[in-house]
Structure formats: structure tokens, C-alpha cells
Amino acid sequence: MLRYTVRRLLLAIPTLLAVLTIIFVIVRVAPGDPATAALGDYASEEAVRALRQRMGLDRPLWQQYLSFLADLLRGDLGKSLITGQPVVDQIRHVLPYTVELTLAAIVVGLVIGIPIGIVTAIRRNTLVDYAGRVVSLAGLSVPAFYLGILLIYLFAVRLRLFPALGAAEFSKPGAHLHALVLPALSLGLIEAAYVTRMTRSVVLGVLHEDYVRTARAKGLPERIVLFGHALRSAMIPLVSLIGLFAISLIGGSVLTEEVFARPGLGKLMIGAMKQKDYTMLQSIMVVYAIVIVVINLLTDLLYGVVDPRVRYE
Amino acid sequence: MAVARELPETGPRTRRWRRTQAFARNRTALVGLVMVALLLLIAIAAPVLSPHSPIAQSTIHRLEPPSREYPFGRDDFGRDILSRVIYGTRIALLVGVLSVAIGGVAGTVMGVVAAFRGGRVENWLMRLTDVLLAFPDLITGLLILAVMGPGLWKMIIAIALTITPRFSRIAHGPALSVKQRDFVDAARAIGVGDLRILFRHILPNIVGELLVLASLWTASAIRLEASLSFIGLGVRPPTPTWGQMIRDGTVHLTNAPWFSLFPGLALLLTILAFNLVGDGLRDALDPKTQA
């Protein structure tokens, strides 16, 4: 396991480097000058030149690239072009909100998705199965921001059960959790649709395996065949899917935070984009890149734990 | 009779026929196909179908609730929401279909070329694919649009770029395995060129899977376009887009819920239509799900 872990860690480094390079290239080499974009078309030439110098845009590209990487290694994400505050501080402030939202959504997705997936697989081609499939396909088709709006309309505007917008401080746990319910549902229900489909197809696949037939043939009760044999091995592929879900949730969380006006990484990114704060935008992308690479890494390691065969490849 | 049925059916024609039958039997897919056809019709005939102008403003009638004359109500400029929803079909389908066409062709070429060239080209192309795949589509689209600025073609290109690696990943595997099959060796032995092998032997073998991917990604592309418009990176007004309409309506969710809810419903149904088609196609092509 240790060798596998080390090898996997070493493999993550070139991937991360490649992603960072792509971010750098897109932000720097793209048409249009970040300094001009930040200041607007009517800015004086001196102002643009001063900002270019402050951003280091007047140096050769390879120097910019090296200092971009060097700053990252030191944990320096630069200063916001708009507020002048260190980007790291702002990200550190909002990150807990995004992490909390994502975790809550994963819980919602698994708690709803796995049981429905199992039931629709076992009762294949019955009314339950059709209903489950239609609902999950609808769940896959509803955009994250529209589901958020529907939930706000139903539960905040009409029923007045939950606050429509914003998030409460972490110091007030009651109000905080209350404000988390709708965003977590909005993000989690879509995830539940994915989980349902995945679980269903994985369980269907397992139910056709020889050892399940053997277990039935030797007269084991269906309950033991299902929970003791079939579902245990069906959980292995599902573990690796949790990583995939977490990554797709990152995309969804951007929209959810925007709809619910919740503080978070996504909201910060959209704000940075509107204000043309390129340092901030680039840094948030870097944070996303690191998070994604780490999630992939953890998923692979977890997979190595639940399925020992993986390690010997 | 029963024995005759058990006989293996061979040849491309019978196989294709069986797939067509399976697709037709699949009622959900048929529903999806009908919905897609209707949407195309609505997009083309938008000027005829719209009861009012999608851009004519009338501020004294702003945010009027749905009525017989204006079934979906009016927006914050007093414009007819139904007509705007109808016109919105155009941008949605245009972006959905074009970005998938561009990204799909580019990705397929990338995957097939990688499989055929092998060696270092393959290594680099597939590495690039994997790195691009690691990012959620929305984040990639956001970054590209944020740097390029808003616009219809920029939107299409941004979405096409997020789609490209998905197709190259899917096209690569089968192309690789078909390339190693005996009939390709045989074709090459009698002097058939690379391009002909590609079109006669490789593409027909992966076209089914690519079609499934294309319809599912059209759904995703439409969702992406709406999401990016919702964030404020979409095609500029006055061209009506659903994402933009939903965004403008969120402010009025308490006093004029129809403003957001109707365009959102159109969006949801459109995405559902393409997902139904993709799902049905997949079931029809996959022998495992027919058991």
C-alpha cells in the first residue's frame, strides 16, 4: 500500500503542473491585456503601464511563468487587483462555506441516491423502476441554478420555511444550518440523480454475476444474497464514483452559491470575473485545480484500500 | 420457430435493423425524439409562432401576471415572456448543436489521430485530454469566456472546447481496438490508405457511441449555455436567452415568479428531450441492457 501511495503521489505532480500551466496560458496568452481589461478602455497609458508593471506583465513570459510557480510554492497567491488585499485571506475566509456546502450535498446525494438505486435495480422493469428512472432523468436535466430557484420559490417565498438568500455566521450554528438546508438540497438532489443511476447500473451488473447465482442456487435467503454478496461488491465501484461526484459538485456549487447569494469560492470567482480581477480569478482557478487533483488522488488511494487488486497493476 | 429465433443474426443490416427496432420500442426515446423535432420546429418558426414581438417594450405593463393575451406574463420591460421563450429556443439550439458539432468533430479527430499515430503524439494528446477532463465543464467554460469576453461565437467555442476532450477520450479506445483487428490489417495489406480505413472501417464502428455522446452533450451544452448566461457571461441583450431571462427574473421571484419560472421550464424540457434521446440510443446500442 505504501509503494502504491508513493507512486500515486508522484504521478499527481505532473498532472498538477500541467493544469497550472494551462491556467497560466489561458489567462496570459489570451487575446486582450489583463491590465487594459481591468482598467477599462479609457484608462490613460501611464495607468495601464503602471498596472502592467505591478502585475509583472512587462517581463518576459518565461519569467512570469517561473515567478507564478515560485509564488505558488511559497503559498503566495498574489494581491487582489481591486481591493489590494492578499487573495489567500479572502479565499481562506470563504472556503469553509464551499466545503460545507459540498459535503452536505454529497451526504444528501448518497442518502437519497443509493437506496433508490438499489431498489430500482432489484425491482427492475416494474412501476417503481420506471418512476425512479423518470425522476432521476429529470434530476439530471434540471440545471443547478433552476432547481435552486424552484426551491427558493417553494420553500422560502411560498411556505416561508427557510431563508431565501445568504448564509449565517459559523458562530450561530442554528441559523447557520437553517440557511444551509436549501442550498444543500439544491445541489444534493441533482447529485442524487447521478448516484441513483450509477447505483442502479452497478447493482444490475453485480446481480448477473456467477457468484450471486451460486449463492441463490445453494438456497441462501434473498436478503443474505443481496446484502451479504451482491451489494458488498457493488460498493467498490461506487467508492470511486464519490470522487467524481465531488468534482462535478464543484461546478454545481458555483451556480448554487450564485443563486443563493451564499459566500463561497464560486461566488468569489464570479465576482472576480465581473470586476476583471485577473489575479483573483487565476488564484481561484489554481485552488480549484489543487482541490480537483487532491480529490482524484484520494479517490485512487481509497480505491486501492477497498480493492487490493488495484495496487498490483 | 423457436429454434429459428435462436439462430444468431449476423451482418450489419440485420444488426442495424435490430437496433432501429430496439430504439423504436424504447418509448422514452421516441418521446425525446418527438420533443426535439418540436423544438426545432419552434426555433425555425419562431416569428410565426410568437404572438408578440420578443423585444417590444411597454414599461407601463411591466411585470403583468399571465393573462389570455400574454399567457406567460410580461417581464420587467413589459415584454411578452412567451414570445421571448419561443425566440430563446433559437439561441439554445444553435449553441447546443453547433458547439457539439465543433467539439465532437475536433475531439473525435483528436482521439482517432492519437490512436492511429501512436507513440509520442498519442501520449501527448491523451495526456492533454485527461488534464482537460479533470475540470468540471462549467469551470472550464467560465475561465475561457471570462478571458475572451461575451459573444455568441465565443460562447459556442468555449463550450466546444469543454466538449472536445470528452469525445477524444471516447473515440480513442474503440479506434485503438478496431485498429488492431484483423480486417484492418487485411485492408492495409491490399493497399488501402489511412483515410479510407478511417472512414470505411473505424468510424462506422464507433459512430453509435459517438451519437449517444453527441445527444447527451447537446443536453449538457444547452445547460452550460444557460448556466453561463445566468452568471452573466451570455450573449448580450436584447437577444433573448433563457439563462438571461431566468437571471433577470430572480429579483422578482416574490412579486412576479412567472418571469423566471417559465423560461426555466422551457430550458428543463429542452435538456430533458436531448437526454431522453441519448438514453434511448444508448439502450438500443447496448446489448447488455436488452437482456
Q: Does B132 touch chain A (CB under 8 A)?
A: yes
Task: Give the model confidence (pLDDT) of B31-53 as tens digits.
Answer: 899 999 999 999 999 899 988 88
Cα(A22)–Cα(A7) distance, integer angstroms: 24
- Residue B2 scores a pLDDT above 60: no
Cα(B86)–Cα(B43) distance, integer angstroms: 7
The answer to whether the CB atoms of B135 and A32 lie below 8 A apart is no
Cα(A159)–Cα(A150) distance, integer angstroms: 12
pLDDT reported for residue A32? 59
pLDDT grade, residue B19 (50/70/90)? low
Task: Give the model confidence (pLDDT) of A237-266 as tens digits.
Answer: 777 777 777 888 888 899 999 999 999 999
For residue A34, give the nearest of A100, A98, A78 by alpha carbon. Answer: A78
Q: What angle in degrees, to the nearest 10, is found between the helix axes of A2-29 and B137-148?
A: 30
Question: DSSP code of B124?
Answer: H
Q: How many residues does chain B have?
A: 291
Q: Does B134 touch chain A (CB under 8 A)?
A: yes
| The listed CATH number (3.30.360.10, 3.40.50.620, 1.10.3720.10, 3.40.50.300) that belongs to domain A89-266+292-306 | 1.10.3720.10
pLDDT > 90 in chain B, percent:
35
Mean pLDDT for the stretch of residues B206-211 = 86
Number of CB pairs < 8 Å for A and B?
117
Mean pLDDT for the stretch of residues A110-122 = 91
Mean pLDDT for the stretch of residues B258-266 = 93
pLDDT grade, residue B12 (50/70/90)? low
Angle A116-A119-A120 from CA coordinates, rounded to 5°: 85
Task: Give the model confidence (pLDDT) of A72-109 as tens digits.
Answer: 888 888 888 777 788 888 899 999 999 999 999 999 99
Cα(B146)–Cα(B161) distance, integer angstroms: 14
Q: Does B146 touch chain A (CB under 8 A)?
A: yes
Cβ atoms of residues B184 and A64 within 8 Å: no
Residue B276 burial class via C-beta count within 10 angstroms: exposed 0-12, middle 13-18, buried 19 and up? buried
Task: Give the model confidence (pLDDT) of A26-56 as tens digits.
Answer: 877 655 566 776 677 677 778 878 877 777 7
| CA–CA min distance A106, chain B (Å) | 16
- Residue B149 scores a pLDDT above 50: yes
pLDDT grade, residue B183 (50/70/90)? confident
pTM: 0.86
Task: Give the model confidence (pLDDT) of B87-124 as tens digits.
Answer: 999 999 999 999 999 999 999 999 988 988 888 888 88
- Residue A164 scores a pLDDT above 90: no
The three three-digit cell numbers of residue A136, written as one number: 432521476
Of A26, A153, A288, the CB nearest to B257: A153
pLDDT reported for residue B22? 65
- Residue A156 scores a pLDDT above 80: yes
pLDDT reported for residue B209? 85
Q: Amino acid identity of A115?
A: P
The three three-digit cell numbers of residue A99, written as one number: 466545503
The three three-digit cell numbers of residue A277, written as one number: 480581477
pLDDT reported for residue B290? 43
How far is CA A167 from its chain centroid?
19
Task: Give the model confidence (pLDDT) of A203-233 as tens digits.
Answer: 888 888 888 888 888 888 878 887 777 787 7
Task: Give the model confidence (pLDDT) of A138-147 as tens digits.
Answer: 888 999 899 9
pLDDT grade, residue B15 (50/70/90)? low
Q: Where are the domains of chain A?
A: 89-266+292-306
- Residue B243 scores a pLDDT above 90: yes
Residue of A130, A149, A265 to mutate, testing the B interface (most B Cβ within 10 Å of its Cβ): A149
The three three-digit cell numbers of residue A47, written as one number: 495607468
pLDDT reported for residue A292? 87
DSSP H or E segment with residue A19: helix A2-29
For residue B81, give the nearest of B236, B224, B234, B248 by alpha carbon. Answer: B248
Residue of A145, A244, A255, A258 to mutate, testing the B interface (most B Cβ within 10 Å of its Cβ): A145
pLDDT reported for residue A129? 86
| CA–CA min distance A6, chain B (Å) | 20
Cα(A85)–Cα(A79) distance, integer angstroms: 5
Residue of A141, A187, A296 to mutate, testing the B interface (most B Cβ within 10 Å of its Cβ): A141
Taking all residues of chain B, what is their mean pLDDT, rounded to a whole number? 85
pLDDT grade, residue B9 (50/70/90)? very low
Cα(A282)–Cα(A91) distance, integer angstroms: 12
The three three-digit cell numbers of residue B161, written as one number: 472546447
Cα(A297)–Cα(A291) distance, integer angstroms: 10
**Helices and strands of chain B, counted as H and E runs:** 13, 0
The answer to whether the CB atoms of A149 and B264 lie below 8 A apart is yes
3 state SS of A58? coil
Cβ atoms of residues A201 and A116 within 8 Å: no
For residue B263, give the nearest of B69, B58, B52, B80 by alpha carbon. Answer: B80
pLDDT > 70 in chain A, percent:
95
| Terminal Cα distance for chain B, rounded | 20
Buried b / exposed e along B123-137 (16+ C-beta atoms within 10 A): eebbebbebbbbbbb
Residues 6+ apart with CB under 8 A from A44: none
How far is CA B109 from its chain centroid?
18
For residue A81, give the nearest of A251, A217, A311, A278 by alpha carbon. Answer: A278
| Terminal Cα distance for chain A, rounded | 12
pLDDT reported for residue A280? 86
Instruction: Tell me the chain A residues in contact with residue B131 when contact means C-beta distances shorter than 8 Å.
Output: 15, 18-19, 22
Cβ atoms of residues A143 and A254 within 8 Å: no
